[in-house]
Amino acid sequence: DAKTTQPNSMESNEEEPVHLPCNHSTISGTDYIHWYRQLPSQGPEYVIHGLTSNVNNRMASLAIAEDRKSSTLILHRATLRDAAVYYCILRPYNTDKLIFGTGTRLQVFP
Amino acid sequence: ETGVTQTPRHLVMGMTNKKSLKCEQHLGHNAMYWYKQSAKKPLELMFVYSLEERVENNSVPSRFSPECPNSSHLFLHLHTLQPEDSALYLCASSQDPEDIYNEQFFGPGTRLTVL
């Protein structure tokens, strides 16, 4: 399984944009990039996913490098409720297995 | 509320006890999953059921025994556990595991402590 590398932790102030990086240099051509987050005392929840093109949804944006060896999850205006552990996951196209790493713990300050 | 409920939310058991964890999904999904989240370790996939058939068993010890009587319910039967099995056990469900756009919906988990 291809591996992802994320910083252990990041900090942000409320109302500011947050860019959460993920490196996946061994990604294969058929791996999709998925992001989940886990709020305190909850199970993970889906955030966004993409293959090659940048993606936007109501929660976040996903910017994917042209060579696909890295990606960035963008929260446009962080709120206190965005404090969570964010997981970047590579999912092969032919399986629904999610291989979680240790993720990035995001702290948001008022 | 994700549409996936788990009971109990907390469980303390001795090594000789037998207990069961229950998961129910109200989303009409076809696949259900058990994950284990130990302290300071990534989530580990344990079992996958698709249309009530087990399609994945991720080298889990036999003291963990899953059961999926229908597409809405999933159980994890526990017996003769070890203290190192203490963890958060998460259940998830998804609509179509073969769809690349398929997202998994997680329950809140059961916090298990084995004494």
The C-alpha atoms of residue A32 and residue A51 are separated, in whole angstroms, by 5
Q: Kindly determine whether residue A49 and residue B31, on different chains, have CB atoms separated by under 8 Å.
A: no
Give the closest-approach CA distance of B89 to chain A in angstroms.
9
Residue A18: name the closest of A43, A34, A37, A5 by CA.
A37
Q: Which residues contact B83 (CB under 8 A, 6 or more apart)?
A: B15, B114, B115
Q: How far is CA B8 from CA A86, B23, B73, B98, B114, in A?
A: 26, 9, 14, 30, 14
* CA pair distance B102, A97, nearest whole angstrom: 11
Residues of A in contact with B109 (CB under 8 A): 42-43
Query: Quick check: B92 and B104 in contact, CB under 8 A?
Result: yes
Contact check, Cβ <8 Å, A101/B31: no
Task: State the pLDDT at residue A2.
Answer: 63
Distance, CA of B30 to CA of B98 (rounded, Å): 11
Contacts of residue A58, defined as CB under 8 A and 6 or more positions apart, other chains included, come to none
Q: Given an 8 Å threshold on Cβ–Cβ distance, is A96 in contact with B107?
A: no
Q: Are A97 and B103 inside 8 Å of each other by CB?
A: no
Tokens 């291989």 belong to which residue?
A: A99
Q: Which chain A residue shows the shortest CA-CA distance from B111?
A: A41
pLDDT at position B47 is 93
Closest among A45, A24, A26 to A35, alpha carbons compared: A45
**Which of A43, A96, A102 lies closest to B94 in CB terms?**
A96
Distance between CA atoms of residues B104 and B32, nearest Å: 9
Given an 8 Å threshold on Cβ–Cβ distance, is A43 in contact with B2? Answer: yes
pLDDT tens for each residue of chain A, 110 residues long:
668 999 999 999 999 999 999 999 999 888 999 999 999 989 999 999 999 999 999 999 999 999 999 999 999 999 999 999 999 999 887 777 888 888 999 999 99
Q: Which residues of chain B have pLDDT under 50?
A: none
Q: Where are the beta strands (DSSP E) in chain A?
A: 9-13, 18-23, 31-38, 44-50, 55-56, 61-64, 70-75, 84-92, 104-109
